[in-house]
Amino acid sequence: MKVLEEKFENLKRSDSPFRLVPKPRPKEKITWLEPEMVAEIKFAEWTKDNVLRQASFKGIRTDKDPKEIKKEKAETDIQLQSSDKEVEKPMEVNSNSIVIEGIKITNPDKVIFEEPKITKADVVQYYSKVSERMLPYVSRRILSIVRCPKGISHTCFYKKHPGPNSKGIITMLVSTGDGETEDYFYVENASGLISEAQMGILEFHTWGSRVEELEKPDVMVFDLDPDEGMDLSRVRQGVRDIRNILHELSLDSYLKTSGGKGYHVVVPLKPTVNWDAFHDFAKRVAEVMEQKWPDRYTSNVRKAKRADKIFIDWIRNGRGATSIAPYSIRARNGARVSMPIAWDELDTVAPDGIGMEDALMRIAGNDPWKDFFLNNQMLK
Protein backbone atom coordinates (compact mmCIF):
# COMPACT_ATOMS: atom_id res chain seq x y z
CA MET A 1 0.00 0.00 0.00
CA LYS A 2 2.88 2.36 0.75
CA VAL A 3 4.45 1.64 -2.65
CA LEU A 4 1.17 2.28 -4.43
CA GLU A 5 0.55 5.45 -2.47
CA GLU A 6 3.87 6.83 -3.70
CA LYS A 7 3.09 5.84 -7.30
CA PHE A 8 -0.37 7.44 -7.11
CA GLU A 9 0.76 10.72 -5.56
CA ASN A 10 1.40 12.49 -8.88
CA LEU A 11 -1.59 10.92 -10.67
CA LYS A 12 -4.37 12.41 -8.55
CA ARG A 13 -7.19 14.30 -10.26
CA SER A 14 -10.35 15.99 -9.03
CA ASP A 15 -12.89 14.20 -11.23
CA SER A 16 -13.49 10.72 -12.60
CA PRO A 17 -11.88 9.65 -15.90
CA PHE A 18 -14.86 7.34 -16.57
CA ARG A 19 -17.94 8.26 -18.58
CA LEU A 20 -20.06 6.12 -16.21
CA VAL A 21 -18.97 7.03 -12.71
CA PRO A 22 -19.31 4.28 -10.06
CA LYS A 23 -21.47 5.32 -7.12
CA PRO A 24 -19.53 5.62 -3.84
CA ARG A 25 -20.62 3.63 -0.81
CA PRO A 26 -21.96 5.49 2.24
CA LYS A 27 -19.20 7.60 3.85
CA GLU A 28 -16.74 6.46 1.19
CA LYS A 29 -14.26 9.00 -0.18
CA ILE A 30 -12.91 8.20 -3.65
CA THR A 31 -9.54 9.50 -4.87
CA TRP A 32 -9.48 9.57 -8.67
CA LEU A 33 -6.29 8.96 -10.67
CA GLU A 34 -5.19 9.63 -14.20
CA PRO A 35 -5.54 6.31 -16.11
CA GLU A 36 -1.82 5.92 -16.69
CA MET A 37 -1.08 2.64 -14.92
CA VAL A 38 -2.27 -0.92 -15.50
CA ALA A 39 -3.29 -3.22 -12.66
CA GLU A 40 -4.08 -6.91 -12.80
CA ILE A 41 -7.37 -7.61 -11.04
CA LYS A 42 -8.91 -11.00 -10.37
CA PHE A 43 -12.70 -10.90 -10.31
CA ALA A 44 -15.82 -13.07 -10.64
CA GLU A 45 -17.79 -11.12 -13.26
CA TRP A 46 -18.94 -7.75 -14.53
CA THR A 47 -22.14 -6.53 -12.87
CA LYS A 48 -25.03 -4.89 -14.73
CA ASP A 49 -23.67 -1.53 -13.52
CA ASN A 50 -20.33 -2.23 -15.23
CA VAL A 51 -18.32 -2.71 -12.05
CA LEU A 52 -16.31 -5.74 -11.00
CA ARG A 53 -17.79 -8.31 -8.65
CA GLN A 54 -15.47 -9.87 -6.03
CA ALA A 55 -12.46 -7.92 -7.26
CA SER A 56 -9.01 -8.45 -5.72
CA PHE A 57 -5.78 -6.63 -6.59
CA LYS A 58 -2.97 -8.85 -7.88
CA GLY A 59 -0.31 -6.34 -8.88
CA ILE A 60 0.82 -3.58 -11.23
CA ARG A 61 1.58 -4.59 -14.84
CA THR A 62 4.55 -2.66 -16.23
CA ASP A 63 4.54 -4.70 -19.45
CA LYS A 64 1.22 -3.25 -20.65
CA ASP A 65 0.38 0.07 -22.27
CA PRO A 66 -2.76 1.58 -20.68
CA LYS A 67 -4.04 2.62 -24.11
CA GLU A 68 -4.07 -1.00 -25.24
CA ILE A 69 -6.37 -2.16 -22.44
CA LYS A 70 -9.89 -3.02 -23.55
CA LYS A 71 -12.78 -4.78 -21.85
CA GLU A 72 -12.53 -8.43 -22.79
CA LYS A 73 -15.21 -11.09 -22.80
CA ALA A 74 -14.40 -14.32 -21.02
CA GLU A 75 -15.47 -17.53 -22.69
CA THR A 76 -18.05 -18.11 -19.97
CA ASP A 77 -19.48 -14.62 -20.63
CA ILE A 78 -19.95 -15.49 -24.29
CA GLN A 79 -21.58 -18.81 -23.43
CA LEU A 80 -23.99 -17.18 -21.00
CA GLN A 81 -24.97 -14.28 -23.26
CA SER A 82 -28.68 -14.41 -23.91
CA SER A 83 -31.19 -12.38 -21.93
CA ASP A 84 -30.64 -11.07 -18.42
CA LYS A 85 -33.42 -13.30 -17.15
CA GLU A 86 -31.79 -16.40 -18.57
CA VAL A 87 -28.43 -15.51 -17.01
CA GLU A 88 -30.06 -15.18 -13.60
CA LYS A 89 -31.57 -18.67 -13.74
CA PRO A 90 -29.59 -21.71 -12.61
CA MET A 91 -27.75 -23.09 -15.63
CA GLU A 92 -26.14 -26.45 -16.16
CA VAL A 93 -22.37 -26.25 -16.44
CA ASN A 94 -21.78 -29.98 -16.36
CA SER A 95 -23.40 -33.03 -14.84
CA ASN A 96 -22.16 -32.13 -11.36
CA SER A 97 -22.50 -28.35 -11.08
CA ILE A 98 -24.87 -25.47 -11.76
CA VAL A 99 -24.51 -21.70 -11.90
CA ILE A 100 -26.59 -19.51 -9.59
CA GLU A 101 -26.27 -15.75 -10.10
CA GLY A 102 -22.94 -16.20 -11.83
CA ILE A 103 -21.42 -18.47 -9.17
CA LYS A 104 -20.58 -22.09 -9.92
CA ILE A 105 -22.21 -24.42 -7.42
CA THR A 106 -20.46 -27.77 -7.18
CA ASN A 107 -22.22 -30.98 -6.09
CA PRO A 108 -25.68 -29.34 -6.14
CA ASP A 109 -27.42 -32.67 -5.48
CA LYS A 110 -25.55 -33.32 -2.25
CA VAL A 111 -28.07 -33.93 0.55
CA ILE A 112 -27.54 -31.44 3.37
CA PHE A 113 -30.66 -32.20 5.45
CA GLU A 114 -32.22 -35.65 5.51
CA GLU A 115 -35.63 -34.71 6.96
CA PRO A 116 -36.99 -32.94 5.06
CA LYS A 117 -34.64 -33.79 2.21
CA ILE A 118 -32.81 -30.59 1.25
CA THR A 119 -29.90 -30.43 -1.17
CA LYS A 120 -27.01 -28.03 -1.48
CA ALA A 121 -28.72 -26.41 -4.48
CA ASP A 122 -31.83 -25.83 -2.33
CA VAL A 123 -29.72 -24.09 0.33
CA VAL A 124 -27.92 -21.86 -2.19
CA GLN A 125 -31.17 -20.96 -3.95
CA TYR A 126 -32.73 -20.13 -0.59
CA TYR A 127 -29.97 -17.64 0.23
CA SER A 128 -30.24 -16.19 -3.26
CA LYS A 129 -33.97 -15.60 -2.82
CA VAL A 130 -33.80 -14.14 0.71
CA SER A 131 -30.67 -12.07 0.08
CA GLU A 132 -32.56 -8.82 -0.49
CA ARG A 133 -34.29 -9.12 2.90
CA MET A 134 -31.29 -10.61 4.69
CA LEU A 135 -28.44 -8.37 3.54
CA PRO A 136 -29.40 -5.23 5.52
CA TYR A 137 -28.80 -7.26 8.70
CA VAL A 138 -25.70 -9.12 7.47
CA SER A 139 -23.86 -6.91 4.98
CA ARG A 140 -20.70 -5.22 6.27
CA ARG A 141 -20.90 -6.94 9.66
CA ILE A 142 -18.14 -9.27 10.83
CA LEU A 143 -19.31 -12.84 10.50
CA SER A 144 -18.87 -16.14 12.25
CA ILE A 145 -20.28 -19.04 10.28
CA VAL A 146 -21.20 -22.70 10.68
CA ARG A 147 -19.97 -24.84 7.81
CA CYS A 148 -21.34 -28.32 7.13
CA PRO A 149 -19.55 -29.42 3.92
CA LYS A 150 -20.97 -32.95 4.06
CA GLY A 151 -24.38 -32.11 5.52
CA ILE A 152 -25.59 -31.88 9.09
CA SER A 153 -25.30 -35.63 9.69
CA HIS A 154 -21.51 -35.19 9.53
CA THR A 155 -19.15 -32.87 11.38
CA CYS A 156 -19.89 -29.16 11.14
CA PHE A 157 -17.32 -26.44 11.81
CA TYR A 158 -17.70 -23.09 13.57
CA LYS A 159 -15.44 -20.57 11.89
CA LYS A 160 -14.70 -16.89 12.51
CA HIS A 161 -11.53 -16.38 10.47
CA PRO A 162 -11.25 -16.41 6.66
CA GLY A 163 -9.90 -19.53 5.00
CA PRO A 164 -7.35 -19.68 2.17
CA ASN A 165 -9.98 -20.60 -0.45
CA SER A 166 -12.73 -18.22 0.63
CA LYS A 167 -14.38 -16.25 -2.17
CA GLY A 168 -16.87 -13.43 -2.15
CA ILE A 169 -15.74 -12.14 1.25
CA ILE A 170 -13.77 -9.10 2.40
CA THR A 171 -11.14 -9.60 5.07
CA MET A 172 -10.12 -7.03 7.65
CA LEU A 173 -7.69 -6.85 10.53
CA VAL A 174 -9.36 -6.39 13.90
CA SER A 175 -7.65 -5.54 17.16
CA THR A 176 -7.96 -8.22 19.83
CA GLY A 177 -7.45 -5.68 22.61
CA ASP A 178 -4.02 -6.92 23.71
CA GLY A 179 -1.99 -5.18 21.03
CA GLU A 180 -2.51 -8.03 18.58
CA THR A 181 -4.71 -8.19 15.49
CA GLU A 182 -6.55 -11.04 13.80
CA ASP A 183 -8.12 -11.52 10.37
CA TYR A 184 -11.92 -11.43 10.30
CA PHE A 185 -14.27 -11.22 7.35
CA TYR A 186 -17.60 -9.89 6.10
CA VAL A 187 -19.74 -9.89 2.96
CA GLU A 188 -21.15 -6.96 1.03
CA ASN A 189 -23.69 -8.40 -1.36
CA ALA A 190 -25.69 -11.41 -2.51
CA SER A 191 -22.64 -12.88 -4.23
CA GLY A 192 -20.92 -13.04 -0.86
CA LEU A 193 -23.82 -14.97 0.67
CA ILE A 194 -24.02 -17.35 -2.28
CA SER A 195 -20.26 -17.89 -2.39
CA GLU A 196 -20.32 -18.82 1.29
CA ALA A 197 -23.28 -21.17 0.76
CA GLN A 198 -21.33 -22.80 -2.08
CA MET A 199 -18.62 -23.56 0.49
CA GLY A 200 -21.13 -25.42 2.65
CA ILE A 201 -22.00 -22.59 5.04
CA LEU A 202 -25.43 -22.96 6.62
CA GLU A 203 -25.45 -20.50 9.53
CA PHE A 204 -24.50 -16.82 9.49
CA HIS A 205 -23.80 -15.14 12.83
CA THR A 206 -23.07 -11.41 13.01
CA TRP A 207 -21.38 -8.88 15.26
CA GLY A 208 -23.65 -6.21 16.76
CA SER A 209 -21.79 -3.45 14.89
CA ARG A 210 -21.03 -2.58 11.28
CA VAL A 211 -17.46 -2.43 10.00
CA GLU A 212 -17.71 1.37 9.54
CA GLU A 213 -18.40 1.79 13.27
CA LEU A 214 -16.82 -1.36 14.63
CA GLU A 215 -16.44 -0.05 18.18
CA LYS A 216 -19.98 1.38 18.38
CA PRO A 217 -22.61 -1.38 18.25
CA ASP A 218 -26.09 -0.76 16.85
CA VAL A 219 -28.03 -4.04 17.29
CA MET A 220 -28.77 -5.47 20.74
CA VAL A 221 -30.07 -9.04 21.03
CA PHE A 222 -31.70 -10.79 23.97
CA ASP A 223 -31.96 -14.57 23.58
CA LEU A 224 -34.54 -16.19 25.83
CA ASP A 225 -33.09 -19.63 26.56
CA PRO A 226 -35.55 -21.79 28.56
CA ASP A 227 -34.70 -24.74 30.76
CA GLU A 228 -35.33 -28.15 29.21
CA GLY A 229 -38.97 -29.15 28.95
CA MET A 230 -40.39 -25.74 29.85
CA ASP A 231 -43.90 -25.03 28.62
CA LEU A 232 -43.90 -22.72 25.61
CA SER A 233 -46.48 -20.42 27.21
CA ARG A 234 -43.90 -19.46 29.85
CA VAL A 235 -41.33 -18.63 27.18
CA ARG A 236 -43.86 -16.43 25.42
CA GLN A 237 -44.61 -14.64 28.67
CA GLY A 238 -40.89 -14.03 29.04
CA VAL A 239 -40.84 -12.38 25.63
CA ARG A 240 -43.70 -10.09 26.66
CA ASP A 241 -41.97 -9.24 29.95
CA ILE A 242 -38.71 -8.21 28.32
CA ARG A 243 -40.57 -6.23 25.68
CA ASN A 244 -42.39 -4.35 28.44
CA ILE A 245 -39.15 -3.63 30.31
CA LEU A 246 -37.63 -2.22 27.12
CA HIS A 247 -40.79 -0.21 26.42
CA GLU A 248 -40.49 1.36 29.90
CA LEU A 249 -37.00 2.42 28.83
CA SER A 250 -38.52 4.02 25.67
CA LEU A 251 -36.98 1.39 23.41
CA ASP A 252 -38.83 -0.28 20.55
CA SER A 253 -37.94 -3.94 20.05
CA TYR A 254 -38.49 -6.57 17.36
CA LEU A 255 -39.20 -10.28 17.51
CA LYS A 256 -37.74 -13.23 15.64
CA THR A 257 -37.66 -16.97 16.00
CA SER A 258 -34.31 -18.51 16.87
CA GLY A 259 -34.85 -21.69 14.88
CA GLY A 260 -34.24 -23.45 18.21
CA LYS A 261 -36.10 -23.49 21.52
CA GLY A 262 -36.29 -19.77 22.30
CA TYR A 263 -37.14 -16.39 20.82
CA HIS A 264 -34.87 -13.43 20.15
CA VAL A 265 -35.88 -9.89 21.09
CA VAL A 266 -33.83 -7.41 19.04
CA VAL A 267 -33.29 -3.70 19.65
CA PRO A 268 -31.95 -1.42 16.86
CA LEU A 269 -29.92 1.54 18.13
CA LYS A 270 -27.92 4.40 16.74
CA PRO A 271 -24.17 3.65 17.12
CA THR A 272 -23.44 6.13 19.90
CA VAL A 273 -21.80 4.22 22.78
CA ASN A 274 -18.84 1.86 23.06
CA TRP A 275 -18.99 -1.88 23.65
CA ASP A 276 -18.54 -1.62 27.43
CA ALA A 277 -21.55 0.67 27.86
CA PHE A 278 -23.60 -1.38 25.40
CA HIS A 279 -22.74 -4.66 27.14
CA ASP A 280 -23.42 -3.23 30.61
CA PHE A 281 -26.83 -1.92 29.57
CA ALA A 282 -27.86 -5.33 28.21
CA LYS A 283 -26.69 -6.97 31.41
CA ARG A 284 -28.72 -4.53 33.54
CA VAL A 285 -31.88 -5.30 31.54
CA ALA A 286 -31.40 -9.03 32.24
CA GLU A 287 -30.74 -8.30 35.93
CA VAL A 288 -33.94 -6.23 36.17
CA MET A 289 -35.85 -9.22 34.78
CA GLU A 290 -34.19 -11.47 37.36
CA GLN A 291 -34.85 -9.10 40.27
CA LYS A 292 -38.46 -8.44 39.31
CA TRP A 293 -39.36 -12.10 38.74
CA PRO A 294 -36.70 -14.21 40.52
CA ASP A 295 -38.73 -17.39 40.13
CA ARG A 296 -38.95 -17.00 36.34
CA TYR A 297 -35.70 -15.59 35.02
CA THR A 298 -31.94 -15.66 35.55
CA SER A 299 -29.11 -13.56 34.18
CA ASN A 300 -26.57 -16.19 35.23
CA VAL A 301 -25.09 -18.21 32.38
CA ARG A 302 -24.42 -21.29 34.54
CA LYS A 303 -26.69 -24.24 33.76
CA ALA A 304 -27.11 -24.97 37.47
CA LYS A 305 -28.82 -21.60 37.93
CA ARG A 306 -31.36 -22.24 35.18
CA ALA A 307 -33.49 -24.91 36.83
CA ASP A 308 -37.09 -24.22 35.78
CA LYS A 309 -36.10 -20.71 34.66
CA ILE A 310 -35.41 -18.80 31.46
CA PHE A 311 -31.87 -17.55 30.98
CA ILE A 312 -31.98 -14.01 29.56
CA ASP A 313 -28.86 -14.24 27.44
CA TRP A 314 -27.32 -10.78 27.34
CA ILE A 315 -23.74 -12.01 26.82
CA ARG A 316 -23.96 -11.96 23.02
CA ASN A 317 -23.92 -8.14 23.25
CA GLY A 318 -20.21 -8.03 24.02
CA ARG A 319 -17.43 -7.15 21.58
CA GLY A 320 -16.57 -10.20 19.50
CA ALA A 321 -19.76 -12.07 20.43
CA THR A 322 -22.23 -12.90 17.67
CA SER A 323 -25.88 -13.84 17.24
CA ILE A 324 -27.67 -15.75 14.53
CA ALA A 325 -28.63 -13.46 11.67
CA PRO A 326 -32.25 -12.86 10.60
CA TYR A 327 -33.22 -15.26 7.78
CA SER A 328 -30.30 -17.61 8.49
CA ILE A 329 -30.88 -21.35 8.27
CA ARG A 330 -29.97 -23.35 11.37
CA ALA A 331 -27.67 -26.37 11.02
CA ARG A 332 -30.10 -28.63 12.85
CA ASN A 333 -32.63 -31.28 11.93
CA GLY A 334 -35.59 -29.73 10.13
CA ALA A 335 -33.66 -26.85 8.50
CA ARG A 336 -35.40 -24.24 10.64
CA VAL A 337 -34.89 -20.52 10.07
CA SER A 338 -34.27 -17.62 12.44
CA MET A 339 -37.15 -15.54 11.07
CA PRO A 340 -38.43 -12.03 11.80
CA ILE A 341 -42.07 -12.18 12.84
CA ALA A 342 -44.68 -9.65 13.93
CA TRP A 343 -45.45 -9.20 17.61
CA ASP A 344 -49.02 -10.37 17.11
CA GLU A 345 -47.65 -13.71 15.86
CA LEU A 346 -45.97 -14.55 19.16
CA ASP A 347 -48.77 -16.89 20.27
CA THR A 348 -49.06 -18.67 16.93
CA VAL A 349 -45.46 -19.16 15.75
CA ALA A 350 -43.15 -21.46 17.73
CA PRO A 351 -39.42 -20.66 18.10
CA ASP A 352 -38.63 -23.48 15.67
CA GLY A 353 -41.86 -23.12 13.70
CA ILE A 354 -40.53 -21.68 10.44
CA GLY A 355 -38.70 -23.78 7.87
CA MET A 356 -37.09 -22.78 4.58
CA GLU A 357 -40.28 -23.12 2.52
CA ASP A 358 -42.27 -21.12 5.08
CA ALA A 359 -39.58 -18.42 5.08
CA LEU A 360 -39.70 -18.08 1.29
CA MET A 361 -43.48 -17.77 1.37
CA ARG A 362 -43.22 -15.10 4.06
CA ILE A 363 -40.79 -12.87 2.19
CA ALA A 364 -43.36 -12.59 -0.59
CA GLY A 365 -45.61 -10.74 1.89
CA ASN A 366 -45.27 -7.79 4.25
CA ASP A 367 -42.01 -7.28 6.11
CA PRO A 368 -42.65 -7.22 9.90
CA TRP A 369 -39.31 -5.43 10.38
CA LYS A 370 -39.75 -2.87 7.60
CA ASP A 371 -39.05 0.10 9.90
CA PHE A 372 -36.17 -1.60 11.79
CA PHE A 373 -33.48 0.80 10.55
CA LEU A 374 -35.72 3.88 10.73
CA ASN A 375 -35.51 4.02 14.53
CA ASN A 376 -33.59 6.94 16.02
CA GLN A 377 -33.37 5.45 19.51
CA MET A 378 -29.99 5.43 21.24
CA LEU A 379 -28.19 4.80 24.50
CA LYS A 380 -26.56 7.74 26.25
Identify the CATH number of the domain in which residue 54 sits.
Answer: 2.40.50.140
Query: Is residue 291 located within the same domain as residue 168?
Result: no
Query: Is residue 220 located within the same domain as residue 347?
Result: yes
The count of domains in the chain is 3
Expressed as residue numbers, the domain containing 163 is: 85-206
Q: What is the largest CA-CA distance in the chain?
A: 76
Cα dist. 319→177, 315, 325 in Å? 10, 10, 16
Query: Is residue 235 located within the same domain as residue 369?
Result: yes
Residue 380 in any domain: the answer is no
Query: Is residue 369 located within the same domain as residue 286?
Result: yes
The pLDDT value recorded for residue 17 is 85
Spans in the chain with pLDDT lower than 70: 61-64, 73-95
pTM over 0.85? The answer is no
The pLDDT value recorded for residue 91 is 40
Residue 297 in any domain: the answer is yes
DSSP state of 41: E
Residue 79 in any domain: the answer is no
Residue 211 in any domain: the answer is no
Rounded Cα distance, 26 and 45, in Å: 23
Query: Is residue 224 located within the same domain as residue 155?
Result: no
Query: Is residue 279 located within the same domain as residue 360?
Result: yes
Identify the CATH number of the domain in which residue 271 sits.
Answer: 3.90.920.10
The pLDDT value recorded for residue 134 is 98
Cα dist. 196→124, 226, 355 in Å? 9, 31, 20
The pLDDT value recorded for residue 86 is 36
On the 0-12 / 13-18 / 19+ scale of CB atoms within 10 A, 102 is buried
Query: Is residue 241 located within the same domain as residue 283?
Result: yes
Domain edge (last residue) among 12, 41, 72: 72
The pLDDT value recorded for residue 64 is 66
Residue 181 in any domain: the answer is yes
